[in-house]
Amino acid sequence: MILYLVRRLVHLLALLAAVSVLSFTLVSMSPIDPVDAYIGADVMKIGPEQRVKIAARWGLDKPPLERFTAWAANLARGDFGTSAIYREPVTQVIAKRFAMSLWLMALAWVLSGLFGFVLGVLAGAWENGLFDRAVRFYAYLLAGTPTFWLGLLLLLVFSVALGVTPVCCAFPPGVTPQEATLWQRLTHLVLPAATLSIVGVSAVILHTRQKTIQALRSDYALFARAQGETTAGVVRHHALRNVILPAVTLQFATLGELFGGSILAEQVFSYPGLGQATVEAGLRGDVPLLLGIVLVSAVFVFTGNTMADVLYRVIDPRIGHGMDRQGGAA
């Protein structure tokens, strides 16, 4: 197990190295002038001498390779550089923003996992029944729904028409993050989290449903029935424990989509999280922040995949010890 984790860590470092080389190369190919991007609207007021000064301050007058080695050396020390639009160290911006997004993503993650699991098991247990068809139709429809459109729809119904939820942001206007109560935070989180869960739930539903059907067709389910167990009993005592692991694994493996969805949802609800910062960095050419977010999001997704893998090894007795000796079956 420890050997496995060490191997994963090495893999992660190699992956991060590759991602940083690749993304830095890409970014330095961009025709958008970073000095222009930094100056923004004041572009007419700045003379050529000042431009040179700005370029020198950001190290932009040096060739790309030299810039990369400097950036990578700082990166290794945990210094991601300074964000050009927030005028703060990138690590601080990301830490602050990520804390906001984490609330949102965690809530959406738990909700979609819970509802997806329950709906999937119920639909699979009574396959082809009315409920199953309804759930399947829902999952099918939602699998192709644009996240931002759904957010718009919810905003229209709950904030504009019914007026039960706030229209935007993470706190009421005029309230600083420190003053906001838990209740205020939650009311502002409900709609974005609901948007993410409603879209994210369909994958879990379809997966869980399929696994439940498989479990109910197994020999042990047949044997339990022969002993007089009801469908509900078979589901509770036999299917559930076989279905829950794949469902949790799937939830961990889809962290990348959750992250992508949160970018769109945060844009709809003006939620000041990491997603919004990503969009700002991309649109306004904040290279250090953009590169930092690329790396952090890669770690996020990688952690999810590793968690999924580890869960299998820890919980499922059929996998695990044998894998390490064979050097991993995959």
Partner 1 sequence: MNESASCRAVPAPRGLAAALGLSCRRGRWLWAMGVSIAVFAAVPLTAWLMGTAGLDPDLAVRNQPPSWGHLFGTDPLGRDMLSRTMHGLVLSLQVGLLASAVSSVVALFLGVASATLGRTADAVVSWLVDIFMTVPHMVLLILISFVAGGGSRGVVIAVAATHWPALTRIIRAEVLQLRGALYVRTARRFGRGPLAVAAYHMLPHLLPQFLIGLILLFPHAILHEAGLTFLGVGLSPHTPAVGILLAESMRHLSTGQWWLGILPGAALLALVKCCDILGTNLDRLLDPKTAQE
297 binds partner 1 (CB under 8 A): yes
The residue within the footprint of partner 1, chosen from 110, 118, 141, 169 (CB under 8 A), is 141
Q: Where are the alpha helices (DSSP H) in 227-273?
A: 231-234, 240-253, 255-269
Q: Which residues contact 169 (CB under 8 A, 6 or more apart)?
A: 188, 269, 270, 271, 272
Name the minimum Å distance from CB 158 to partner 1: 12
100 binds partner 1 (CB under 8 A): no
Closer CB to partner 1, residue 122 or residue 289? 289
Residues 157-176 that bind partner 1 (CB under 8 A): 160, 167
Count of residues that bind partner 1 according to CB under 8 A: 48
List C-alpha distances in Å: 51 to 33, 59, 70, 85.
11, 12, 21, 17
Per DSSP, the residues of 80-126 read --B-TTT-SBHHHHHHHHHHHHHHHHHHHHHHHHHHHHHHHHHHHHT
Closer CB to partner 1, residue 182 or residue 330? 330
8 binds partner 1 (CB under 8 A): no
- Cβ atoms of 191 and 165 within 8 Å: the answer is yes
End-to-end CA distance of the chain: 16
Please identify, among the stretches 18-26, 183-191, 215-223, 237-245, the one whose residues bind partner 1 according to the rule CB under 8 A. Answer: 18-26
Residues 190-249 that bind partner 1 (CB under 8 A): none
What is the SS3 assignment for 147-186?
HHHHHHHHHHHHHHHCCCCCCCCCCCCCCCCCCCCHHHHH
137 binds partner 1 (CB under 8 A): no
10 binds partner 1 (CB under 8 A): no
Residues 275-294 that bind partner 1 (CB under 8 A): 278-279, 281-283, 285, 290, 293-294
Closer CB to partner 1, residue 107 or residue 293? 293
The residue within the footprint of partner 1, chosen from 257, 306, 313, 323 (CB under 8 A), is 257
286 three-class SS:
coil
Instruction: List the structure tokens of 163.
Output: 């007026």
Contacting positions for partner 1 (CB under 8 A): 15, 18-19, 22-23, 26-27, 29-32, 141, 143-149, 152-153, 155-156, 160, 167, 256-257, 259-261, 263-264, 267-268, 278-279, 281-283, 285, 290, 293-294, 297-298, 300-302
